[in-house]
Structure 1
Amino acid sequence: MNRKQAEALRDFPELAGLIALSEAGWRFVPSQVVDGRLTDLHGFRAWPEGWTDAIRVRSDTDVMAVRSDGNEPPGVVWECAGTLAQVVEGLLSLPAPDDRLAPRLIRASGPVLWTPAENR
């Protein structure tokens, strides 16, 4: 953990989950800024074969995450909503897509998630 992360964590302990995701290979992009203030934060983790995990954070009590398969259109095979701590715990305990215990049953159709070209 770098100095800036340590300072942010001291001021906002709920960020520990986002730091844990970042250390596990997640990438984050601010998705909406209103009046110079970040209102939404989106993160993703791209897996081989096109699988994608994604998270949307609006506040420490309004968080949602999904895993989608690599098909067109993507199918949602896992989802979780709740507090930042609950959703991060769910994501960190979610088996890798190629694990035999990973969810595979499509529960809903998902949106096409944008990811940078180098992660496809």
Structure 2
Amino acid sequence: MNAETAAVAAFPELRRLIDLREVGWVFLPTVVDGRVVEVHGVRTWPHGWADAIRVRFITDAAALRCDYTGGITWERDGGLVEVVDELLMLPEPGQRLAPHLVMGRAPTLWAP
């Protein structure tokens, strides 16, 4: 049994990351003391758009989409399955229903 098969056998929810990989995502693990503690994934789109995901555990995942300026146009957090499902339903950048407006952020307070 290879490592991927063993991981999916132990945590079936990881199959969702394989689903993302099959549509062009690239993943990088964060390893501490020989253990994977976090996984980051990215999918780039034409014209500078990118989707990203961070997974700490099957109940702790977050994803976002950024435009070519780095502005966040979409984001979700929650369980791995729910976040990946939302990513897979997200229309490609440039499509009619794809999010394209940058989400507002509160200004950083200046402290003397």
Q: TM-score of the superposition, structure 2-length normalised?
A: 0.86
What's the offset of the Cα at 1:40?
1.1
**Structure of greater Rg:** 2
What's the offset of the Cα at 1:50?
0.3
> Which consecutive aligned stretches of 4+ in structure 1 deviate over 3 angstroms post-superposition?
3-8
Partner of 1:22: 21
Where 2:91 maps in the other structure, the secondary structure is coil
- Where in structure 2 are there 5+ consecutive unaligned residues? 106-112
Q: How does 1:79-98 map to 2 (within 5 A)?
A: 79-98=75-94
- Where in structure 1 are there 5+ consecutive unaligned residues? 110-120
Q: Classify 1:20/1:40 alpha carbon distance in 2 versus 1 (closer, same or farther; 3 Å).
A: same
Work out the number of aligned pairs and report it. 104
Partner of 1:104: 100
Q: 1:33 aligns with which of 13, 31, 34?
A: 31
Q: 2:71 aligns with which of 58, 71, 75?
A: 75
Q: Report the AA paired with residue 66 of structure 1.
A: L
The RMSD of aligned alpha carbons is 1.5
